[in-house]
């Protein structure tokens, strides 16, 4: 019996999961951290994709949710007096930080989603800057001087291995959530909003509800990753988690892999981390310049991303033109 492409793809995913489960035992701590970083950024890009990719509302300010998750978990952990060396002690702070991000996203969702296009993108960038200034200047939060986080890593466990599995599990969860949304009624509604919001509303799509739901869910998932990242740092300041490049990376990784697709953000993250961490590791002085040039070149050659470029029909047309 011939294996279908779907079965082959599922088998490939199972093999990757099996390799990922045992990988930390066979690679160095450095490479474990690199893969851990891949898990985190792929999760961030996939979470951003729920809003920016599916609905077409590009947010330049998702770093605000990331930073709020990190500092929210830090303050709750401090208030509870969480003990170091206890993985269970981080559950309540992360849950509390998630609730904070959810409430904040829900409060700003309706007014800010009344904007469209570049106006929405700039407004979200402004939200990120406001959050950064508040965290940086409100002494109670402590973003300006830095905040210590109690380590939940059990004694005898390598920290990078501990967070490797947590970020890996979160990435898997976000991919499953993304897949469920994409195949659901709300997913088709978001795609209709992306193509023509006014027409979608005329056809009966509850555009406001769908936009708010995707906005809050996207922010919450980013906030969870931010909370865990704060724990992985141990000590963080505003410059550690409320960075503009974190929000921009989410967008770039989606664009490179294929925005609005399920696997595009993951593929784009893998490609960019391979380029920056492996191919350009010996060019630290001109690292950013080369990376920027590669990103521009890839966008020019593959405006719909790697997955869009290798779409069957486009690939056939490319081959015919090359003859």
| pLDDT at position 17 | 86
Q: Is 73:97 a contact under the CB 8 Å cutoff?
A: yes
Alpha helices in 5-116 (DSSP H): 5-22, 29-52, 63-80, 91-112
Give 295-309 pLDDT, tens digit per residue.
888 888 887 888 877
pLDDT mean over 63-90? 84
Written as one string, the DSSP assignment of 129-186 is: HHHHHHHHH-TTTTTTT-EE----PPTTS-HHHHHHHHHHHHHHHHHHHHHHHHTSHH
With a cut of 60, say whether residue 1 has pLDDT above it: no
With a cut of 60, say whether residue 87 has pLDDT above it: yes
| pLDDT at position 115 | 92
Q: How far apart are alpha carbons 32 and 111 in whole angstroms?
A: 42
Q: How far apart are alpha carbons 90 and 97 in whole angstroms?
A: 11
Give 146-204 pLDDT, tens digit per residue.
888 888 888 888 889 999 999 999 999 999 999 999 999 999 999 999 999 999 999 89
| pLDDT at position 243 | 87
- Read off the tokens for 49: 């994709």
pTM of the model: 0.91
| pLDDT at position 323 | 47
Domains of the chain by start residue, with CATH: 27-283 (1.10.3470)
Average pLDDT, the chain: 87
With a cut of 80, say whether residue 213 has pLDDT above it: yes
Q: Is 239:232 a contact under the CB 8 Å cutoff?
A: no
């Amino acid at each position: 019996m011939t294996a279908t492409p779907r079965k082959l793809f599922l088998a490939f995913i199972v093999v990757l999961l099996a390799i990922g489960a045992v990988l930390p035992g066979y690679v160095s701590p450095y490479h474990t951290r690199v893969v851990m970083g891949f898990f985190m950024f792929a999760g961030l890009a996939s979470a951003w994709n729920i809003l920016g990719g599916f609905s077409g509302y590009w947010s330049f300010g998702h770093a605000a949710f990331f930073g709020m998750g990190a500092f929210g978990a830090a303050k709750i952990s401090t208030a509870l007096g969480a003990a170091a060396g206890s993985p269970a002690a981080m559950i309540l702070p992360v849950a509390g930080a998630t609730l904070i991000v959810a409430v904040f996203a829900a409060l700003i969702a309706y007014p800010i989603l009344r904007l469209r296009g570049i106006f929405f993108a700039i407004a979200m960038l402004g939200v990120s800057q406001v959050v950064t200034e508040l965290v940086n200047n409100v002494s109670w939060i402590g973003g300006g001087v830095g905040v210590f986080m109690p380590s939940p890593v059990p004694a005898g466990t390598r920290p990078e291995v501990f967070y490797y599995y947590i970020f890996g599990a979160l990435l898997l969860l976000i991919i499953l959530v993304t897949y469920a949304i994409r195949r659901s009624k709300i997913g088709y509604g978001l795609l209709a909003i992306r193509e023509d919001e006014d027409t979608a509303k005329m056809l009966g799509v509850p555009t406001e509800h769908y936009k708010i739901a995707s906005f809050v869910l996207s922010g919450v998932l980013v906030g969870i990753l931010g909370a865990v990242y704060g724990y992985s740092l141990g000590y963080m300041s505003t410059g550690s988690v409320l960075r503009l490049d974190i929000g921009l990376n989410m967008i770039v990784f989606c664009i490179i892999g294929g925005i609005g697709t399920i696997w595009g953000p993951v593929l784009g993250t893998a490609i960019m981390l391979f380029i920056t961490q492996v191919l350009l590791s010996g060019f630290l002085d001109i690292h950013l310049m080369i990376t920027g040039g590669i990103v521009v070149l890839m966008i020019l050659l593959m405006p719909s991303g790697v997955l869009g470029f290798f779409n069957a029909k486009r690939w056939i047309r490319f081959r015919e033109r090359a003859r």
